[in-house]
């Protein structure tokens, strides 16, 4: 790979969400009761086979309302600037969002999910199964975020 190379992506779907813009979306979706509808375009529907058996899935999406980025950012959690890559800000060089959501139901190419922070119209890029034995870690330290986050594990 050469520095400066451009990679191209074509979305596989779109998120229909009750959050209509950035101001309405939660900082993280976990703990929220709202249901979002994740529409997987018909041409990819076959790839959803057997997904009903999974209680949680990982969604990767495009922060389409991202507004460029700064490498040092202030967050709501304290007054100091921190490195962008220690935050979950949507304003990133590659504006990729990531959320582990609860899969409530599937109706053909529509997934009803809970715990998603994406706003309406968000392009969906990928769906992966959430697998605790792979995706969860123990003895985790969260640096400057320690004691600052109010989100409870659900």
Q: Could you give the CA distance from residue 82 to residue 88 in angstroms, rounded to a whole number?
A: 11
* Shortest spacing between CB 99 and a second copy, in angstroms: 9
* Shortest spacing between CB 101 and a second copy, in angstroms: 9
* Shortest spacing between CB 84 and a second copy, in angstroms: 4
Q: Which alpha helices (H) appear in 67-123, and where do they start and end?
A: none
Nearer to a second copy, 11 or 34 (CB): 11
Q: Could you give the CA distance from residue 152 to residue 154 in angstroms, rounded to a whole number?
A: 6
Q: Could you give the CA distance from residue 102 to residue 116 in angstroms, rounded to a whole number?
A: 8
For residue 82, give the H/E element and its range: strand 82-83
Q: Could you give the CA distance from residue 97 to residue 90 in angstroms, rounded to a whole number?
A: 7
* Shortest spacing between CB 17 and a second copy, in angstroms: 13
Distance spanning both ends of the chain, measured CA to CA: 40
Instruction: Return the biggest CA–CA distance within the chain.
Output: 48
* Shortest spacing between CB 154 and a second copy, in angstroms: 7
Nearer to a second copy, 4 or 23 (CB): 4
Nearer to a second copy, 18 or 94 (CB): 94
| β-bridge partners, 114 | 35, 102
């Amino acid at each position: 790979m050469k520095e400066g190379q451009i990679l191209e992506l074509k979305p596989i779907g779109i998120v229909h969400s009750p959050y209509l813009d950035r101001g309405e979306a939660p900082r993280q979706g976990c703990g929220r009761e709202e249901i979002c509808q994740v529409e997987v375009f018909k041409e990819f529907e076959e790839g959803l086979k057997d997904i009903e058996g999974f209680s949680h899935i990982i969604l990767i999406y495009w922060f389409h309302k991202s507004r460029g980025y700064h490498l040092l950012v202030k967050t709501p959690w304290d007054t100091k600037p921190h490195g962008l890559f220690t935050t979950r800000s949507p304003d990133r060089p590659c504006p990729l969002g990531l959320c582990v959501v609860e899969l409530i139901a599937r109706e053909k190419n529509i997934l009803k999910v809970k715990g998603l922070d994406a706003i309406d119209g968000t392009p969906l890029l990928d769906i992966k199964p959430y697998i605790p034995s792979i995706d969860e870690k123990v003895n985790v330290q969260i640096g400057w975020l320690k004691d600052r986050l109010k989100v409870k594990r659900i």
